[in-house]
Amino acid sequence: PRVPSSTIQNIGVGGAEMACLRNQLRQWREEKNDIQSTRHGQRDHLSNETIIFVACAGENDIGSGRSLDQILDTFRSFLDDLYCLFSPLAHSTTGNDNIDIKIKRNHANNYDGSTSSHKINHSNNNNFHLIFIGPKLEPWLSKDFSSRKQYAKLSNGLQRCMRKHSGHNSNSGRMTYVDCLTLFCTEDTANVPGAVHGGRAVPDPVYFDGDGLHLSEVGYAVWKEMIEKEILTLLM
């Protein structure tokens, strides 16, 4: 979204796997001159900024044959990297710090930013936020039930990691996990009981390119609108 005085930096790469998130965060940190300064200067600068990371990874890991445990271990390390990067800011604040984990489940035809019951509040405010976009069921998975189950398990595992990380680190900032597993499935099959594991949730071809893997312009438009709403919610 267009936010006055904001800076948008795209450090993502096509075909990225979960390990790339750590490298991209490291790259961002190294390129930011203020984060290379003294710890005192780092606190002063970051305390005046609201920093939002939007990330999506994990699907390519499954495609490359990595195990679920390996993927989640890397994700936990990424969360640790975020915590370590911003912990000077967190420790410099006064009063209570905030951990706000929101798990959002959506469908492309009725996304409204509503929040499900999975929310953990430990109080006040930090200036950095993570919006993590979960895996989505794609047309090619219709014939690969093993990978389909891995996608569902990955989505659940990522949510658990974010909740556990917030419980262990009282200065983790605010995190939002957006559950996209059935976001691009047909509306009449997305919410059928057992839809995910039983193969009854059917990805809608309108949201995907002909390869059955990548999103189409229509699909990316849905993603864009969803992410913009999440960002604006954090900035309000």
**CA–CA dist 11, 13 (Å, integer):** 7
Instruction: Give the residue, 182 or 166, on which the prediction is more confident.
Output: 182
Cα 199 to the center of its chain, rounded Å = 24
Among 67, 79, 56, 71, CA closest to 180: 56
State the Cα–Cα distance between residues 65 and 73, nearest whole angstrom: 15
Q: Is residue 61 within 8 Å of residue 75, measured between CB atoms?
A: no
The 3-class secondary structure across 50-101, one letter per residue, is CEEEEECCCHHHHHCCCCHHHHHHHHHHHHHHHHHHHHHHHHHCCCCCCEEE
pLDDT, mean over the chain: 77
With cut-offs at 50, 70 and 90, classify the pLDDT of residue 54. Answer: very high
User: pLDDT tens across 181-223, in order?
Assistant: 999 999 888 877 776 666 788 999 999 999 999 999 999 999 9
Query: Does the structure show a pLDDT above 90 at 175?
Result: no
Full DSSP string of 153-190: HHHHHHHHHHHHHHHH-TT-EEEEEEE-TTTTB-HHHH
Q: Are strands 99-105 and 119-121 parallel, antiparallel or unpaired?
A: antiparallel
Looking at per-residue pLDDT, the higher value among 8 and 230 belongs to 230
3-state secondary structure of 198: helix
- Return d(Cα 47, Cα 101) in angstroms, integer: 21
Q: What pLDDT does residue 48 have?
A: 61
Query: Rounded mean pLDDT of 170-179?
Result: 73
According to the model, what pLDDT value does residue 133 have? 95
CA atoms of 160 and 143, how far apart (whole Å):
28
What are the tens digits of pLDDT across the range 55-110?
999 999 999 999 999 999 999 999 988 888 766 544 433 333 343 445 555 566 65
Q: Which residues pair with 51 in a beta bridge?
A: 128
Higher pLDDT pick, 2 / 61: 61
Give the torsion through C-alpha atoms of 139, 142, 146, 151, to 10 deg.
40
Q: Determine what percent of the chain is predicted with pLDDT higher than 90.
A: 40
Q: In this structure, is the dihedral angle defined by the CA atoms of residues 158, 161, 166 and 169, taken in order, positive or negative?
A: negative
